[in-house]
């Protein structure tokens, strides 16, 4: 997203602590080119606000009620420029460093703040390219090692659904999206199936086909299908194709 | 004390072990020795019972001649001299026994026949003694390995204790950075409040620094630490943080390990109140009952909160500290039900004898 010359940068602050927003508000007040259009105290509000009002710049705290900063970023996508704010999170900071994402550390100093804002402005004027990494990959990079997702946030317009991974039956690749089947519904999310697979616990989820990742707890039967392939029948009644490699993985898992 | 005489059970097993040896001696006396079976048994069993005790004496020369640090000549001389002396003593007793028995019916002439068997008895005595020497060396090796094991256990306990010390002296960096950020915000909008928060934060830090050194403090002191912590958090979270306390005044002077409750209250703030948009309550209760101090910390939380980006070290740490300090006498229970999380602890109070023993261990020893 770029901001045309002469228009003020529409900015929102997302942090559950009023005092933390207050510091940013104070720093931003010295910049007439910034228009503070909103403040959100939790992740749900932030996603809704971004979907409805489409701000240019978001200051985003990581630890918040409802949705954390990474989940918010996943759902708002790369539309607005984002500056992360955190107190102390070694894994997140490493991910920001590696992927050249702007971030501020609490307590926030003026010079560091000005530098981050300057970069954000350059991004918004098109002088700097946006961070090359999709939001989801950044979130994965910032996750502490050996920690798998235990829930998947999805967005439909301005509303957010949280799918606990235990309630995910399977995921199906659909072009640039994955369809997440859970409790009889399908939710679309912009993500590749490989990156979803990588963020799920491999002892609970298995890639049975180029286009399918299945929750192993849901698999009730595997039946031969045609000459060379198989089909997995889930306890929900869904039937998923199993590729040859997928069948080998499934066998290896079941034999364990 | 001799390891076998130290326990009646061991002595019984040892003496049972001599029964086959006595049987062998009876066989020797009867078949090559020319005694009747009845006579051989009557001589062999008392003699072996006595010799069983004589052979226990081999423990002391074994102790004085450790296998790995003694020269071969010294080893041989010590045990051969021991064997000859023990066997000679045995012969003396055997002859006396023979004389006494020869007076009774059925044993007539046993003394002269025993005299003929003396070389046989002597050889057996030496062999049995040397067998006992071997047995004692095995005992020593077992004892040594058991001690080594105990040392390893002790070392790991000490290491864990040191680790716990380090942990309890640690202030959560999140708390510190967020508090500094709040102060930074207040310096512009409300300078007196900023100053107040500096003082509260300083007060809390000073208390935690001092407390890490002490083995235990009264609950009242721990509670004032908790209050110092909450005073800082209250400025950050405002009305979102609601604390309720129900503390039995009789519990206030009970001694507790320092920084036992503060991490639990911090947990309740970080994983409970902080994740609730409207905030929530934390309830802390403490009472004394039957020589135990019972503490419960309950808080509201959002079961659908974002995944924790930090592991819950606080709970594990408190549980481990209680286990290490009051093994088998403290309990720790943490459980969520619905939107409430509850941690319940019980620990023995000061007057409890178990506690007194624990407190009597000098701190230098633990370090």
Q: What's the pLDDT tens digit per position in A62-90?
A: 999 999 999 999 898 878 999 999 998 88
Structure confidence at residue B286 (pLDDT): 96
Residue A242 — φ and ψ, nearest 5°? Answer: -120, 125
Q: pLDDT-based confidence at B331, cuts 50/70/90? A: very high
Which of A68-82, A136-150, B277-291, B311-325 bottoms out in mean pLDDT, i.e. has the lowest?
A: B311-325
Q: E-strand spans in chain B? A: 217-218, 241-247, 255-256, 280-289, 292-300, 331-337, 340-348
% chain B with pLDDT above 70: 90
Interface contact B307-A42, CB threshold 8 A: no
Interface contact A16-B238, CB threshold 8 A: no
Q: pLDDT-based confidence at B166, cuts 50/70/90? A: low
Structure confidence at residue B365 (pLDDT): 38
CB A243 within 8 A of CB A210: yes
pTM, full prediction = 0.71
Using a CB–CB cut-off of 8 Å, the residues of A that contact B are 16-20, 22-23, 26, 41-43, 62-68, 71, 87-89, 91-92, 105-108, 144, 147, 149-151, 162
CB A141 within 8 A of CB A95: yes
Residues listed for chain B: 367
Structure confidence at residue B312 (pLDDT): 62
Collapsed DSSP state (helix, strand, coil) of residue B223 = helix
User: What is the average pLDDT value for chain B, to the nearest integer?
Assistant: 85
User: Exposure of B320 by Cβ count < 10 A (0-12 exposed, 13-18 middle, 19+ buried)?
Assistant: middle
% chain A with pLDDT above 90: 67
Chain A: nearest CA to B230, how far in angstroms? 16
**What gap in Å lies between CA B47 and CA B69, rounded to an integer?**
34
Q: How many CB atoms lie within 10 A of CB A99?
A: 14
Collapsed DSSP state (helix, strand, coil) of residue B248 = coil
Residue B15 predicted with pLDDT over 50? yes
Q: Average of pLDDT values for A23-43?
A: 96
Q: pLDDT-based confidence at B356, cuts 50/70/90? A: very low
Contacts of A162 in chain B (CB under 8 A): 304
pLDDT in tens, B46-91: 888 888 888 888 888 888 888 888 888 888 999 999 999 999 998 8
Q: Average of pLDDT values for B272-286?
A: 93
CB A132 within 8 A of CB A125: no
Collapsed DSSP state (helix, strand, coil) of residue B313 = helix
Residue B222 predicted with pLDDT over 60? yes
Structure confidence at residue B360 (pLDDT): 43
Q: Average of pLDDT values for A28-55?
A: 95
pLDDT in tens, B197-220: 999 999 999 888 877 677 889 999
Chain A: nearest CA to B233, how far in angstroms? 11
Asked if B237 reaches chain A (Cβ–Cβ under 8 Å), the answer is yes
Q: pLDDT-based confidence at A227, cuts 50/70/90? A: confident
Residue B352 predicted with pLDDT over 50? no
Q: pLDDT-based confidence at B169, cuts 50/70/90? A: low
Q: pLDDT-based confidence at B165, cuts 50/70/90? A: low
Contacts 24+ apart (CB under 8 A), B153-160: B157/B324, B158/B366, B160/B320, B160/B324
Better pLDDT: A67 or B316: A67
Q: pLDDT-based confidence at A1, cuts 50/70/90? A: low
pLDDT in tens, A94-150: 888 888 789 999 999 999 999 999 999 998 988 888 777 778 888 888 888 778 998
CB B90 within 8 A of CB B51: yes
- Apex A155 CA angle, A209 and A88, nearest 5: 95
φ/ψ bin of A58: left (φ > 0), alpha (ψ from -120 to 50), beta (otherwise): beta
Contacts of A19 in chain B (CB under 8 A): 181-182, 185-186, 235-236
Chain B: nearest CA to A122, how far in angstroms? 27
**What gap in Å lies between CA B13 and CA B207, rounded to an integer?**
59
């Amino acid at each position: 997203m770029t901001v045309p010359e002469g228009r003020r940068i529409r900015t929102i602050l997302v942090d559950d602590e009023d005092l933390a927003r207050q510091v940013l508000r104070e720093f931003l007040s010295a910049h007439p080119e910034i228009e503070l259009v909103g403040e959100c105290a939790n992740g749900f509000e932030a996603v809704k606000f971004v979907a409805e009002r489409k701000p240019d710049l978001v200051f985003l705290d990581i630890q918040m009620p409802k949705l954390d900063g990474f989940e918010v970023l996943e759902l708002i996508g790369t539309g607005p420029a984002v500056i992360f704010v955190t107190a102390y999170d070694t894994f997140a900071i490493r991910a920001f460093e590696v992927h050249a994402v702007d971030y501020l550390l609490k307590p926030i100093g003026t010079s560091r703040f000005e530098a981050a804002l300057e970069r954000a402005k350059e991004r918004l004027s098109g002088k700097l390219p946006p961070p090359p990494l999709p939001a989801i990959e950044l979130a994965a990079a910032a996750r502490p090692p050996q920690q798998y997702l235990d829930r998947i946030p999805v967005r439909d317009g301005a509303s957010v659904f949280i799918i606990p991974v235990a309630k995910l039956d399977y995921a199906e690749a659909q072009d640039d999206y994955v369809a997440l089947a859970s409790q009889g519904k399908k939710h679309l999310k912009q993500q590749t199936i490989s990156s979803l697979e990588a963020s799920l616990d491999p002892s609970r989820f298995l890639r049975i086909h180029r286009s399918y990742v299945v929750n192993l707890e849901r698999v009730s039967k595997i039946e031969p299908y045609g000459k060379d392939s198989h089909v997995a029948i889930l306890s929900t009644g869904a039937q998923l194709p199993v590729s040859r490699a997928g069948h080998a993985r499934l066998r290896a898992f079941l034999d364990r | 004390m001799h390891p076998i005489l130290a326990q009646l059970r061991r002595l019984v097993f040892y003496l049972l072990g001599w029964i086959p040896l006595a049987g062998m001696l009876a066989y020797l006396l009867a078949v090559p020795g020319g005694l009747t079976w009845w006579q051989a048994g009557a001589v062999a069993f008392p003699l072996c019972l006595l010799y069983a005790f004589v052979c226990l004496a081999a423990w002391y020369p074994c102790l004085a001649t450790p296998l790995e640090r003694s020269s071969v000549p010294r080893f041989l001389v010590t045990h051969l001299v021991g064997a000859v002396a023990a066997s000679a003593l045995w012969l003396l007793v055997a002859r006396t026994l023979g004389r006494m028995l020869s007076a009774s019916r059925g044993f007539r002439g046993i003394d002269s026949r025993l005299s003929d068997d003396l070389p046989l008895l002597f050889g057996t005595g030496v062999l049995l003694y040397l067998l006992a020497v071997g047995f004692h060396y095995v005992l020593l090796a077992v004892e040594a390995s058991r001690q080594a094991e105990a040392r390893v256990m002790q070392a790991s306990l000490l290491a864990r204790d040191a680790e716990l010390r380090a942990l309890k002296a640690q202030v959560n960096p999140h708390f510190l950075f967020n508090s500094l950020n709040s102060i930074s915000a207040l310096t512009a909008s409300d300078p007196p409040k900023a100053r107040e928060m500096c003082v509260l934060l300083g007060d809390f830090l000073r208390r935690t620094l001092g407390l890490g050194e002490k083995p235990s403090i009264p609950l009242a002191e721990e509670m004032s630490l908790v209050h110092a912590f909450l005073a800082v958090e209250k400025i950050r979270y405002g009305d979102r943080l609601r604390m309720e306390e129900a503390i039995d005044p009789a519990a206030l002077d009970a001694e507790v390990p320092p920084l036992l409750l503060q991490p639990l209250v911090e947990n309740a703030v970080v994983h409970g109140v902080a994740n609730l948009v409207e905030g929530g309550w934390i309830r802390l209760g403490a009472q004394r009952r039957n020589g135990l101090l019972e503490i419960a910390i309950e808080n509201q939380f959002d079961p659908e909160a974002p995944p924790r980006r930090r592991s819950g070290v606080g709970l594990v740490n408190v549980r481990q500290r209680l286990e290490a300090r009051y093994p088998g006498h403290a309990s720790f229970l943490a459980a969520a039900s619905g939107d409430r999380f509850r941690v319940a602890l019980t620990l023995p109070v000061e007057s409890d004898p178990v506690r007194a023993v624990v407190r009597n261990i000098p701190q230098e020893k633990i370090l």
